[in-house]
Amino acid sequence: MIDARRVRIEPMAAISIAWIAIALLVCWIAPLLAHLDAYATDVAHAYAQPSLAHWLGTDGLGRDELARLLAGGRITLSVGIVAALVAMLIGTIYGALSGYYGGWFDSTLMRVVDVFLSVPTLFLLLFLAALFNGSVLTLMLVIGFTAWLGPSRLVRGEVLTLKERLYIEAARSAGASDPRIIFRHLVPNAMGTIITTTTFMVATAMLAETALSYLGIGIRLPTPSWGNLLSSAQSDIFARAYWLILPPGFAILISVCAFNFVGDWLRERQG
Amino acid sequence: MGVTLLTFFLLHLAPGNLAQTLAGENAAPAQVARITHELGLDQPLYEQYGVWLGKLARGDLGFSYRRQASVASLIGERIGRTLLLMGTALLLSIVIAVPLGVYQAYKRNTLFDRVASGIVFIAWSMPTFWLGTMLIAMFAVQLHWSPVGGLQTIDTTAFDWRSRMAHLILPAITLAVVSLAGWSRYIRGSMVEQLQEDYIRTAIAKGLPIRAVLFHHTLRNALIPFITVLGGTIPALFGGAIITEQIFAYPGMGQLFWQSAADRDYFTLLGMTVITAVLVILGNLLADVLYGIADPRVRYD
Amino acid sequence: MVALAAIAFTSCGARSAETRDPNMIVVSWIAGPDSFNPLTAVGSAARMVNQLIYTPLVDIGPNLLPRPQTSLAYRVEITDGGKRYLLHLRRGVLWSDGVPLTAKDVVFSLVLGDNPNLLNGYSADFKLMTSAHAFDPYTVEIRLSSPSPPFLENALGETLPLPEHMLHRYPPGSEAEAKFVNADAGFAQNPVTSGPWRIVRNVRDSYLVVGPNPRYWGPKPELDAIAFRVYPQQDSLYAAVDAGEVDVTDIAPNLWRIHDRLSGDHKFITWPWNVTFLLLPNYHDPSIPWARDPRVKQAMMYAIDRDFIKAGIMSGQADLLNGPIPSFSPYYDSRVKTYRYDPARARVILDAAGWKLQGGVRAKSGHELRFTLKTGGATDAVASNIAELIQANLRAVGIECTLENEELQTFFVDLHNSRFQVALRGIILPAYPDDYKWYDSKQTRAAGGYNIGFYNNPQIDRAIEAARAASSPAIARRELDHYQELAAADLPVIYLYSVRLGAVVPANLTGFDLDPLAPAALPMGLQFWHRVNPPAAGKRSSQ
């Protein structure tokens, strides 16, 4: 699967991986080190410009913007990653089973996927998000739940091609049980596609969280997330509080970009 | 039909009640209860579904009490607008993405390819509402090159081409930027694959002009799967882009959906789902037909 | 390349767009009007337009007195101890289809408004009406079963007479009639009207243009036209004002302080509004026994920094609320006790009442001063900010509250089913301050009322009921004063503030009617708006 001639690391991919690692590290570790409270209000110092006391200034209620950015990063990144993992898990199992068994089982399963696909994603997201409260966990599940459709198709495709390979025939004639074949042989060989797709899913999930928070059904205030930081800052656009608008915007942009780069690099590597 | 069943039950699971919206914030709970009964919303779910299905069979999409108009008229007004917006955006993004993808594949791994990829990635990663608001701030407010939002000039209710186009520009660009990235990556990848094929290499070795090779052979073959992927975007074509329509005050299907969802206007939401589903099915059929035409190897008998 | 050319072409088109008539004003809306039938109109845009296109039966001014010069009934006589109303109607009023407007239309509208099966819940205000009939084509007599001061402002003041010849299809007051009216899209979208304005152009949810009604009986509006444009998103709305596309808009509190950064010549006007915010405890919830102790509630009134809510979060545009009746109302009793921000005093009161601090939270006989505060502000930054501030203030005196921010519809469902401990909510007050359905102990949800907090205080019950059945204005005022005094001490709710509205308008526009009872958050009196110095021709032309 991996073409040995192309293993040289692309600079953009390297930078992206570095960024992701740094972001993860900073968002989780830094607040422990530096006493940053994302919730303490200090109304007398609202809308303060960046200074030594507050590196990124304060928001409308005097909360430290840097602390909120990092706390928001924890939430957005974890939502993105977990949602992607949930999506891949469901999609992989669904697609693998569907592709392996084939026949009417396959058609029915894929028909169900089609039904869901004919509803525009955002519609589905809205239904589910408005249904359940805005806790981080339910959001992860909701986004994951709407995102598994695409991957399931891909995994199914992979399984279909792999199924015909000789070694599978060999395994089956050796008496291996179905689940064993699926999980020990087929899935690991589709791993390349799976990992690549997961990476792209993280990017999509993060953008989905942003969109939902903008519409008010994602992470709810006062819990910060990059999405709702950006949308509440947009209303402050006339306050010309650039320190509130730019950091979350760039954080989202660069992080999503980074995941996309890595995903693309992985796809190239697959040959 | 599965879609409608799914939608119906999902809708009624959500907390909140159409009657509440109609009665207003300050109405006594007893009033809300009375309206609920009046609208038949207190019947068991399967009965409600049956009633609705019956009406549908007679061609009646329902009446929106919240908006005091038939669902059919609401959808009829908006579907054309959304189609116009999404169509323009799709056209814009394809017109830019295809040549870009082709050229990138041709010049892969050169500086041009890398820079273009970089820009494309950034475009791919932008939240739509951020882009939309930035565009408004720059082009509408600062430069006055475009109106901030809306459908068309308020001077007339008749369809004014020029003014509609002017109002479409920014939202179409916003939508196009994001989808353009996806398309160009796809085309590039597809083209790269094609360029590796033996018969292409043979053609180049034989000395055929590059342009002919690129367009007549490679692109044709790369386009075939492209059409199927295009088919996957059909739901969006009719569903509209909720966030973009909100930001640009464009009264299309997306906005209707969002407001109806907030109001819990079940009748409108159901009607929209049905229409969208039907159109999606038609669209997919069309895509299948096109696929058959484009690829002579695939013909149904 | 093709795309760029297309962009260039159309942008030229936009630039040279039609110049706007300087005598037309553009007003913004968040959503378009749904129905032009006042009995099925839900949104504030529709209610606002209906005020423009119909003639009100009795036009109530900001001081809660009728204004004859804009009312259909130029004289209202109240006799028989408040049980008989005699309305004298103007002559020569025509519907837009030419039919004369007479007493039969008024009677029809009153009876229709009383129909309990209508979607719009106004019939409660007509409950005491026993009969309405036309003495002659220009006089209407209404009889009530008992005197009711709220009837004039809350029932008659809200009535917009509708054309009987268009809507009378079924027996008045019947279910069939209600069913018909509820779904009459024909009239709802193309009404027959009688007011100073008429609808010139309407594109649903996008824009609406009104122009002077040539058949109107009263003074012709000064402006040539008023256009309403819909911008669902706040940010885009402000961009539109900045770009000159919108002249008049309401503006959210957090942006008042910087409204002067908008380009163009604007001024900022503000006026009180009849929307009040308060914290409502659920008295039936056994886990918050402190709610029955007025001292705890008084302490909370002292503990919450409502001055900051006003100055900081609401940018100065809120009025502190000291009781059930806001200060702009003619029925407000200024002698009522006021609570200033004084956390030290709050602590003293709590200590004296036996609630001692134990590890940061006060407790007494095993119960802690702890509760969950529910709000409907998931999409509303201002409500969220206020909730957070309250949490911080209460924490400082030893009361611990957890915030639960819900989506609006979910919030209403929880409210109606009394699924909350304390809720932060807003109430739209009627013109006449009749709090019967809110706080009377008999008016629980089961009984058809709105006392979802199950508040129970016999003294307040008596005061409210006496005020609402008073046979003379003097008695009503006395009872209302008494009610306010009781409420300030027993605190059925924690009174926070009443909202002030703010609007950005062109600097040279005047004639606004700053009505606290406005249907939308916009100034009214559009009939009288006019420019003081019309702008010079050739000024920035924008679409």
pLDDT in tens, A80-106: 899 898 888 888 888 877 777 777 888
Q: How far A157 CA sits from the closest chain C CA (Å)?
A: 37
8 A C-beta contact, residue C373 and residue C386: no
* Residue C379 to residue A216, Cβ atoms within 8 A: yes
Residue C77, both tokens: 């006589």
Chain A segment 100-129 residues within 8 A of B by beta carbon are 112, 115, 117-120, 122-123, 126-128
Q: What mean pLDDT is predicted for residues C78-105?
A: 91
Amino acid B259: pLDDT: 85
Residues from chain C contacting residue B24 (CB–CB below 8 Å): 42, 120-121
Of the candidates A118, A126, A256, the beta carbon closest to that of B277 is on A118
Residues from chain B contacting residue A230 (CB–CB below 8 Å): 127, 130
Place A230 in a pLDDT band, splitting at 50, 70 and 90.
Answer: confident
Amino acid C143: pLDDT: 92
Given a cut of 80, whether residue B142 has pLDDT beyond it is no
Of the candidates A120, A214, A260, the beta carbon closest to that of B129 is on A214
* Residue C412 to residue B25, Cβ atoms within 8 A: yes
* Residue A239 to residue C258, Cβ atoms within 8 A: yes
Chain A segment 5-44 residues within 8 A of B by beta carbon are 12
Given a cut of 80, whether residue B145 has pLDDT beyond it is no
8 A C-beta contact, residue C235 and residue C248: no
Q: Which of C4, C20, C207, C238 has the highest number of chain B CBs within 10 A, making it the mutation to test binding with B? A: C207
The CA distance from A250 to C248, in Å, is 34
Q: Which residue has the higher pLDDT, B273 or C330?
A: C330
pLDDT digits (tens, 9 = 90+) for A21-46: 888 888 888 777 677 777 776 666 77
Amino acid A1: pLDDT: 44
Residue C105, both tokens: 């239309």
Q: How far A127 CA sits from the closest chain C CA (Å)?
A: 13
Place C228 in a pLDDT band, splitting at 50, 70 and 90.
Answer: very high
C197-203 vs C84-89, strand pairing mode: unpaired
* Residue A235 to residue C381, Cβ atoms within 8 A: yes
Q: Which residue has the higher pLDDT, C224 or A127?
A: C224
Amino acid B28: pLDDT: 63
Q: How far C254 CA sits from the closest chain A CA (Å)?
A: 8
Given a cut of 50, whether residue C543 has pLDDT beyond it is no
Q: What is the residue-wise DSSP string for C43-94?
A: SHHHHHHHHHHS--SS-B-TTS-B-GGG-SEEEEEEEGGGTEEEEEEPSS-B
Q: Who's near B104: CB < 8 A, 6+ residues apart? A: B112, B113, B116, B117, B184, B188, B191
8 A C-beta contact, residue A119 and residue B273: yes
Given a cut of 80, whether residue C48 has pLDDT beyond it is yes
For the ranges A71-75, B15-19, B90-94, B237-241, the lowest mean pLDDT is seen at: B15-19
Given a cut of 50, whether residue C13 has pLDDT beyond it is no
Place C16 in a pLDDT band, splitting at 50, 70 and 90.
Answer: very low
Amino acid A53: pLDDT: 74
Average model confidence (pLDDT) across chain B = 76
Residues from chain C contacting residue B251 (CB–CB below 8 Å): 32, 203-206, 230
Residues from chain C contacting residue B151 (CB–CB below 8 Å): 203, 206-207
pLDDT digits (tens, 9 = 90+) for C384-409: 888 888 998 999 898 999 988 877 77
Of the candidates A130, A221, A235, the beta carbon closest to that of C407 is on A130
Question: What value of ipTM does the predicted structure carry?
Answer: 0.82
Q: Which residue has the higher pLDDT, A157 or A248?
A: A248
Amino acid C2: pLDDT: 47
Amino acid B191: pLDDT: 76
**What residues of chain C have any CB closer than 8 angstroms to a CB in chain A?**
234-235, 238, 252, 254-255, 257-259, 261-262, 308, 312-313, 377-379, 381, 384-385, 388-389, 392, 403, 405-407, 410
Q: What mean pLDDT is predicted for residues C473-479?
A: 89
Given a cut of 60, whether residue A117 has pLDDT beyond it is yes
- C67: buried, middle or exposed (CB in 10 Å: 19+, 13-18, 0-12)? middle
Given a cut of 80, whether residue B46 has pLDDT beyond it is no
Q: How far C41 CA sits from the closest chain B CA (Å)?
A: 8
Please list the residues that pair with C370 across neighbouring strands: C400
Q: Which of A90-94, A196-200, C301-305 has the highest mean pLDDT?
A: C301-305
Which backbone phi and psi does C524 adopt, to 5 degrees? -110, -160
Average model confidence (pLDDT) across chain A = 76
Comparing CA positions, the residue from C267, C244, C331 lying closest to residue C523 is: C267
Comparing CA positions, the residue from B278, B288, B279, B285 lying closest to residue B1 is: B278
* Residue A235 to residue C261, Cβ atoms within 8 A: no
Using CA atoms, how far residue A86 sits from A95, A124, A201, A227, A255, in Å, is: 14, 17, 10, 20, 20
The CA distance from C444 to C222, in Å, is 48
Amino acid C538: pLDDT: 41
Amino acid A29: pLDDT: 80
Q: Is A152 on the interface with B (CB under 8 A)?
A: no
Using CA atoms, how far residue C34 sits from A33, A169, C187, C192, in Å, is: 55, 65, 12, 16
pLDDT digits (tens, 9 = 90+) for C424-434: 988 888 888 88
For the ranges A91-95, A258-262, B137-141, B248-252, the lowest mean pLDDT is seen at: B137-141
Given a cut of 70, whether residue C229 has pLDDT beyond it is yes
Using CA atoms, how far residue B226 sits from A152, B239, C13, in Å, is: 19, 21, 35
The percent of residues above 90 in pLDDT, for chain C, comes to 30
8 A C-beta contact, residue B250 and residue B171: yes
Given a cut of 80, whether residue B56 has pLDDT beyond it is no
- B52: buried, middle or exposed (CB in 10 Å: 19+, 13-18, 0-12)? buried
Which backbone phi and psi does C4 adopt, to 5 degrees? -65, -40
The percent of residues above 70 in pLDDT, for chain C, comes to 91
Which backbone phi and psi does C85 adopt, to 5 degrees? -115, 135
The neighbour count for residue C81, using CB atoms within 10 Å, is 12
Q: Which residue has the higher pLDDT, C56 or B159?
A: C56
Q: What mean pLDDT is predicted for residues C184-190?
A: 86
Q: Who's near A165: CB < 8 A, 6+ residues apart? A: none
8 A C-beta contact, residue B178 and residue B131: yes
The CA distance from B290 to C92, in Å, is 67
DSSP H helical ranges for A102-148: 103-117, 121-131, 136-147
Given a cut of 60, whether residue C163 has pLDDT beyond it is yes
Given a cut of 90, whether residue C199 has pLDDT beyond it is yes
Q: Who's near A7: CB < 8 A, 6+ residues apart? A: A269
Residue with tokens 């990144």: A77
* Residue C409 to residue B169, Cβ atoms within 8 A: no
Q: Which residue has the higher pLDDT, A15 or A181?
A: A15
Q: Which of A161-165, C32-36, C117-121 has the highest mean pLDDT?
A: C32-36
Q: Which of B5, B86, B128, B129 has the highest number of chain A CBs within 10 A, making it the mutation to test binding with A? A: B129
The neighbour count for residue C13, using CB atoms within 10 Å, is 18
pLDDT digits (tens, 9 = 90+) for C440-449: 888 887 777 7
Given a cut of 70, whether residue C328 has pLDDT beyond it is yes
Q: Who's near C523: CB < 8 A, 6+ residues apart? A: C248, C269, C271, C503, C505, C512, C513, C514, C515
Coil, strand, or helix at residue C327? coil
Amino acid B167: pLDDT: 87
Q: Which of B50-59, C40-49, C402-411 has the highest mean pLDDT?
A: C40-49
* Residue B251 to residue C203, Cβ atoms within 8 A: yes
The percent of residues above 90 in pLDDT, for chain B, comes to 0
Residues from chain B contacting residue A264 (CB–CB below 8 Å): 117, 121, 185
* Residue A235 to residue C384, Cβ atoms within 8 A: no
For the ranges A182-191, B15-24, C53-62, the lowest mean pLDDT is seen at: B15-24
The reported pTM is 0.83
Place A70 in a pLDDT band, splitting at 50, 70 and 90.
Answer: confident
Place C1 in a pLDDT band, splitting at 50, 70 and 90.
Answer: very low
Amino acid C128: pLDDT: 86
Which backbone phi and psi does C453 adopt, to 5 degrees? -95, 0
* Residue A256 to residue B133, Cβ atoms within 8 A: no
8 A C-beta contact, residue C505 and residue C266: yes
The CA distance from C110 to C133, in Å, is 10
Residues from chain B contacting residue C520 (CB–CB below 8 Å): none
Residues from chain C contacting residue A217 (CB–CB below 8 Å): 378, 407
Q: Who's near A29: CB < 8 A, 6+ residues apart? A: none
Q: Is A235 on the interface with C (CB under 8 A)?
A: yes
Comparing CA positions, the residue from B172, B290, B270 lying closest to residue B230 is: B290
Given a cut of 50, whether residue B301 has pLDDT beyond it is no
In C, minimum Cα distance to B147 occurs at C543
